[in-house]
C-alpha cells in the first residue's frame, strides 16, 4: 500500500475526483477542510504528502507557510493545485515552500509522477504485474496507472466514476453487473448512491465511447443491470 495523501480542500467534488485518481494508482487519501485539520491528521497518523486545493479566495500560501513551520509537516512534500483565477498565487506559494505547483486542469499523470518520484515509487514497477496495468476490449484500451482511455485509437476523457465503472466492466467482460455492484466498484463507500444515478453515468459512458465502431458494447439487461458485450467482428 502506498502512503496516505492528505487533500486540503473545502470542495467535496474536487476531493472525490482527486481521491479516485490517487486510489487508482494505489495511494490512500484523506480530506482536510483546512490547514488545522491537516496538522491534526499529521499528529494522528503517518502522511506521505499534502495536496493543497488553491482557489481564488482561499489564499493557501499562508497555510503552506504554517505547514513548513510545524515539525509534524515541515518535511512533507507539498503540492499546490492552482485553480483558474488563482494563478497569481503561484509566486507566493513558491516562496511559502511548496515543492511543486500545477495549474488546473492538469493531466493526472503529472501529479502521480511527482508523488511517485518524491515518495520513492516506480510507476511501472510496483507490486502489481505489468499486465494488470492495462485492460483491453475490442477497440477500447485502458491504462490503469496513467488513467488514460483510448477508443478506436483516440483518447477519450472520463470522469472518475465513469473510469471506475468501465474498469470494472473491462475486468468482467460479458458478466451482467448489477447496479449495486457498479456502485460498490465506482463510488466511495461513505457516499449514498441511488440506482438511477448509475443509469445516468452509464449514459455518459456510452456517449464517451460513441466514436468506437462498436460503441453499443454496453448492453442493458432488464432487471439485471449492465454487461460489456463482445464486439462484433
- What's the CATH code of the domain at 48? 3.40.50.2300
Handedness of CA 183, 126, 101, 51 (dihedral sign): positive
DSSP 227: E
- From 118, 146, 166, give the residue that closes a domain: 118
Which three cell numbers, joined as nine digits, stand for 184? 460498490
**Per-block average pLDDT, block size 10, for the chain (233 residues)?**
88 87 88 93 92 87 89 90 86 88 83 86 46 75 82 82 88 90 81 84 86 70 86 48
Q: What is the CATH number of the domain that holds 157?
A: 1.10.10.10
Sequence-separated (6 or more) residues with CB below 8 Å from residue 197: none
Q: Is residue 223 part of a domain?
A: yes
Residues 114 and 134 in one domain: no
Domain-ending residue, one of 86, 118, 150:
118
Closest CA to 7 of 36, 68, 49, 64: 49
pLDDT of residue 137: 84
Amino acid 7: pLDDT: 95
Q: Across the strands, what pairs with 79?
A: 51, 100
Statement to judge: residues 91 and 156 lie in one domain: no
Does residue 156 share a domain with residue 105? no
User: What is the Cβ-side half-sphere exposure of residue 14, based on CA atoms within 13 angstroms?
Assistant: 20
**Are residue 113 and residue 140 in the same domain, yes or no?**
no
Q: Are residues 147 and 216 in the same domain?
A: yes
Residue 211 and residue 142 share a domain: yes
- Domain stop point among 87, 118, 149: 118
Domain count, the chain: 2
Integer Cα distance of 164 and 135 in angstroms: 12
CB-based contacts of 117, cutoff 8 Å, min separation 6: none
Task: Please name the residue that has the C-alpha cell 509537516.
Answer: 73
pLDDT score at 162: 86
Torsion of CA 199, 203, 205, 208, to 10 degrees: -170
**Residue-level pLDDT at 42:** 92
Residue 124, domain member (yes or no): no
Q: Which of 152, 125, 148, 122 is nearest to 135 (CA)?
A: 148
The whole-number pLDDT of residue 212 equals 52
State whether 169 and 80 are in the same domain: no
**Do 185 and 216 fall into the same domain?**
yes
For residues 167 and 109, state if they share a domain: no
Beta bridge partners of 134: 143
Segments forming the whole domain that contains residue 86: 4-118
Same domain, 147 and 86: no
Q: For residues 143 and 72, what is the distance between their CA atoms, to the nearest angstrom?
A: 36
Residue 102 lies in a domain: yes
Cβ neighbours, 10 Å, residue 145: 19
- The reply to whether 158 falls in a domain is yes
Q: What is the pLDDT of residue 40?
A: 93
**Is there a single domain that holds both residue 150 and residue 190?**
yes
Amino acid at each position: 500500500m502506498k502512503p496516505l495523501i492528505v487533500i486540503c480542500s473545502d470542495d467535496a467534488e474536487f476531493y472525490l475526483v482527486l481521491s479516485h485518481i490517487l486510489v487508482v494508482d494505489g495511494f490512500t487519501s484523506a480530506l482536510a477542510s483546512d490547514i488545522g485539520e491537516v496538522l491534526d491528521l499529521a499528529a494522528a497518523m503517518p502522511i506521505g504528502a499534502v495536496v493543497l486545493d488553491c482557489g481564488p479566495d482561499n489564499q493557501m500560501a499562508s497555510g503552506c507557510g504554517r505547514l513548513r513551520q510545524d515539525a509534524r509537516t515541515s518535511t512533507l512534500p507539498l503540492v499546490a493545485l492552482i485553480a483558474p483565477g488563482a494563478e497569481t498565487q503561484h509566486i507566493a506559494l513558491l516562496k511559502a515552500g511548496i515543492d511543486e505547483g500545477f495549474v488546473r486542469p492538469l493531466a493526472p499523470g503529472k501529479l502521480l509522477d511527482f508523488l511517485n518520484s518524491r515518495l520513492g515509487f516506480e510507476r511501472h514497477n510496483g507490486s502489481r504485474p505489468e499486465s494488470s496495468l492495462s485492460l483491453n476490449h475490442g477497440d477500447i484500451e485502458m491504462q490503469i496507472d496513467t488513467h488514460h482511455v483510448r477508443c478506436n485509437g483516440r483518447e477519450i476523457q472520463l470522469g472518475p466514476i465513469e473510469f471506475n465503472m468501465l474498469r470494472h466492466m473491462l475486468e468482467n467482460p460479458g458478466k451482467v453487473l448489477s447496479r449495486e455492484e457498479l456502485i460498490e466498484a465506482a463510488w466511495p463507500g461513505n457516499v449514498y448512491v441511488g440506482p438511477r444515478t448509475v443509469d445516468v453515468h452509464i449514459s455518459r459512458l456510452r456517449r464517451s465511447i460513441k466514436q468506437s465502431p462498436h460503441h453499443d458494447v454496453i448492453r442493458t439487461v432488464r432487471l439485471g443491470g449492465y454487461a460489456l458485450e463482445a464486439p462484433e467482428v
